[in-house]
Amino acid sequence: MPIVAPSLLASNFLKLEEECRMLNNSDADWFHLDVMDGRFVPNISYGQMIIEFMRTTTKKPFDVHLMIVEPEKYAEEFKKAGADHLIVHYEVCPNLHRNIQQIKSLDMKAGVAINPHTPVSLLTDVLQDIDTVCMMSVNPGYGAQKFIPHTLSKIRELRKLIDNWNLPVLIEVDGGVTLQNAKDIVAAGADVLVAGNTVFQSKNPAATISELRSIEVAKTL
């Protein structure tokens, strides 16, 4: 069964506490929190203060995805706000290993995200040092985009690399995840499904989360 991490970016911010409590009482495993700065991606979302308020609603892990430049300047603040996992983008970290070391030193799990155009092979030198690879299956910045089909090949490639090296690294897929394609995504090798609109636009979000979490398939390479 995959880990399900609903993305709060798609939630109703006028009812944020209600949305958080729904997730807390659902089968959701993690809260996925997208932080955007309007520089790395063409959108601005929310920051540490909102995450700190959300933290009061649940003890479930906070999977914080930084779509920002210079993430090292804010890592400690996000830890204080309640982040359990901190994901930085390969594309904005010229000293990526140093970023990973910083996250680990703050007692958070370290993740690296890669955009649709970024090859999996570029992660080989840091794969043994991280906990999660966040595979972007849309171009980052906005929700409600369609899943890029080539992502399935990238997931298979990364799954093979992780398994060959016997690493405990999770593959997280973020963008365009639906009830229709989730089974193929998990079959390709994904461990974590990030779902925004699929969950929060559902007539029964908790039931949708349960349906995603119940997927069982044999992973294929």
Which residue is it, tokens 């703050």? 106
Residue the block writes with tokens 């090949």: 153
pLDDT tens digits along 86-133: 999 999 999 999 999 999 999 999 999 999 999 999 999 999 999 999
- pLDDT over 90 at 158, yes or no: yes
Confidence check: pLDDT of 221 > 70: no
φ, ψ for residue 35, nearest 5 deg: -110, 120
Which pLDDT does position 143 carry in this prediction?
67
Which residues, in sequence order, are bridge partners of residue 86?
Answer: 64, 110
> Rounded to two decimals, what is the model's pTM?
0.95
The predicted pLDDT at position 81 comes to 98
Read off the pLDDT of each residue in 30-50 and give the average, rounded to a whole number.
95
Spatial separation of the C-alpha atoms in residues 61 and 107, rounded to whole Å:
13
Cα(206)–Cα(89) distance, rounded to whole angstroms?
30
- Domains detected in the chain: 3-213 (3.20.20.70)
The predicted structure's pLDDT at residue 98:
98
* Residue partners of 154: CB distance under 8 A and separation at least 6: 120, 135
Which residues are annotated as catalytic? 34, 174
Identify any residues that bridge with 36 across adjacent strands, giving them in sequence order.
67
Listed in order, strand segments (DSSP E) in the chain are 3-6, 31-36, 62-67, 85-89, 109-114, 132-136, 170-174, 192-195
Tell me the sheet residues that pair with 87. Answer: 65, 111
